[in-house]
């Protein structure tokens, strides 16, 4: 009896481990997505290092009611059901928040294979510190995940990525509902709602600009291009694209990079094509002017555009697939320090 019971326990454990390994190999953990492809495995994923390695502080316990008013600074997390799926998001209300004053909102989307906790970690991206310094609210929604805690999540950005794309998850509807909830809970300036994201998250903000132009005044996409299936914005949206010339996941020139993962991704749209699309959609001048030039980076700006929008492209020489100015390396070389993605995007946002 005891031997049979032990055998069953061992068997169940082996099944669990097998399922876990297969799941990780399909989605790829954040670290494995970047660092293991050269070893010839499928552990190469879409974006970041594993949440369990660089997760940052755990999210606060979920609030009971996502419509409860928030009157003071702090960190909050909410669990809702949308389209039959349980979804989560974190919110950081900056120090000095005054519920009597309208406050900008930045929606920040993690890369594929990561989570809201990974994106909210100041050690990874520094957006909490930037929020407190500049006084904007920042929300970190979690992508679609089949794992407890929302880890190894992806976004349905159209042609990419992973299970969110394959199951046609309604991420646009989820983010629309999140912004609606936060607009009831906080005094948000409805003319200053912005979105940013990394890689798969950056691809998702391109889709948000296409389908929620009535909500988002501007987007900033870092290391992810426009891979939407269709795009018909109701009004112009200002677009900032930040990309490394040597990106090995989402190549500057399009297609698949040395560290792209087969069926979980797509043949990525190139950076020049993404910019060309937004210049046309926003009715911008076709000839850019050099807005910034310094060793290791430059920014080109397309303006004027309809609706006072702008399109801007910032290119770094190095950094591969990373967030410029980040303190931690997340790929084969350190992030570029020629510019700070946080500084460049906030300057872009606050000028709207």
pLDDT in tens, 127-163: 999 999 999 999 999 999 989 889 999 999 999 999 9
**DSSP structural state of residue 272:** H
Separation of alpha carbons 219 and 247, rounded Å:
20
Residue 5 clears pLDDT 50, i.e. is over it: no
Q: Convert the pLDDT of each residue in 83-99 to its tens digit.
A: 999 999 999 999 999 99
Residue 332 clears pLDDT 90, i.e. is over it: no
Could you tell me which of 265, 276, 269 has the C-alpha nearest to residue 253? 269
What is the structure's pLDDT at 53?
39
Indicate the range of 144-148, 317-321, 346-350 predicted with least confidence.
144-148
The C-alpha angle 338, 344, 347, rounded to 5 degrees, equals 150
What is the structure's pLDDT at 261?
74
pLDDT-derived band at 63, boundaries 50, 70, 90: low
Q: Convert the pLDDT of each residue in 256-297 to its tens digit.
A: 998 887 778 999 999 999 999 999 999 999 999 999 999 999
What is the structure's pLDDT at 150?
92
Structure tokens at 136: 């904007």
- 64 against 282, higher pLDDT: 282
Report phi then psi at 86, rounded to 5.
Answer: -75, 125
What is the structure's pLDDT at 61?
54
Mean per-residue pLDDT, 68-80: 94
pLDDT-derived band at 57, boundaries 50, 70, 90: low
Cross-strand bridge partners of residue 88? 79
- Strand 289-294 to 297-302 pairing: antiparallel
Separation of alpha carbons 226 and 223, rounded Å:
11
Cross-strand bridge partners of residue 89? 78, 141
Residue 169 clears pLDDT 70, i.e. is over it: yes
What is the structure's pLDDT at 41?
25
Separation of alpha carbons 213 and 219, rounded Å:
10
Alpha carbon of residue 123 to chain centroid: 16
- 59 against 168, higher pLDDT: 168
Q: Convert the pLDDT of each residue in 109-124 to its tens digit.
A: 999 999 999 999 999 9
Helix (H, G, I), strand (E, B) or coil at 139: strand
Structure tokens at 201: 């998250």
Residue 175 clears pLDDT 60, i.e. is over it: yes
Whether the bond into 52 is cis, omega within 30 of 0: no
- 28 against 2, higher pLDDT: 2
Mean per-residue pLDDT, 219-238: 98
What is the structure's pLDDT at 44?
31
What is the structure's pLDDT at 58?
54
What is the structure's pLDDT at 129?
97
pLDDT-derived band at 107, boundaries 50, 70, 90: very high
- For tokens 């755990």, what's the residue? 58
Which CA distances in Å does 19 have to 15, 25, 238, 269?
Answer: 6, 10, 43, 33
- Strand 103-109 to 137-141 pairing: parallel
Give, for 181, the enclosing helix (H) or strand (E): helix 171-185
Domains defined for the chain, CATH in brackets: 2-350 (3.40.50.1820)
| C-alpha neighbours within 13 Å on the C-beta side of residue 110 | 34
Separation of alpha carbons 42 and 22, rounded Å:
10
């Amino acid at each position: 009896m005891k031997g049979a019971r032990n055998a069953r326990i061992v068997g169940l454990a082996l099944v669990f481990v097998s399922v876990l390994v297969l799941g990780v190999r399909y989605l790829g953990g954040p670290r494995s997505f970047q660092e293991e492809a050269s070893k010839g495995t499928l552990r190469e994923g879409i974006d970041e290092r594993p949440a369990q390695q660089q997760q940052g502080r755990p999210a606060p316990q979920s609030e009971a009611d996502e419509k409860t008013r928030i009157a003071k600074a702090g960190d909050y997390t909410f669990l809702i059901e949308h389209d039959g799926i349980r979804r989560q998001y974190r919110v950081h209300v900056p120090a000095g928040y005054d519920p009597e004053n309208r406050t900008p909102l930045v929606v920040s989307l993690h890369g594929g294979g990561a989570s809201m906790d990974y994106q909210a970690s100041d050690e990874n991206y520094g957006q909490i510190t930037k929020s407190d310094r500049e006084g904007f609210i920042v929300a970190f929604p979690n992508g679609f995940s089949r794992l407890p805690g929302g880890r190894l999540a992806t976004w349905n950005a159209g042609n990419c990525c992973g299970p969110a794309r394959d199951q046609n998850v309604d991420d646009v509807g989820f983010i629309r509902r999140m912004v609606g909830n936060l607009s009831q809970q906080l005094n948000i300036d409805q003319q200053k709602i912005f979105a940013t994201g990394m890689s798969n998250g950056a691809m998702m903000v391109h889709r948000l600009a296409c389908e929620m132009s009535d909500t988002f005044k501007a987007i900033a996409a870092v290391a992810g291009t426009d891979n939407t299936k269709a795009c018909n914005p109701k009004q112009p949206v200002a677009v900032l694209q930040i990309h490394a010339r040597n990106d090995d996941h989402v190549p500057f020139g399009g297609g698949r990079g040395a560290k792209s993962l087969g069926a979980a991704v797509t043949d990525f749209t190139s950076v020049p094509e993404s910019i060309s699309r937004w210049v046309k959609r926003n009715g911008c001048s076709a000839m850019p002017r050099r807005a910034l030039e310094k060793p290791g980076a430059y920014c080109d700006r397309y303006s004027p555009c309809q609706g006072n929008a702008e399109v801007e492209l910032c290119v770094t020489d190095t950094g591969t697939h990373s967030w410029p100015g980040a303190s931690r390396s997340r790929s084969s070389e350190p992030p570029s320090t020629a510019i700070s993605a946080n500084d460049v995007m906030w300057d872009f946002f606050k000028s709207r």
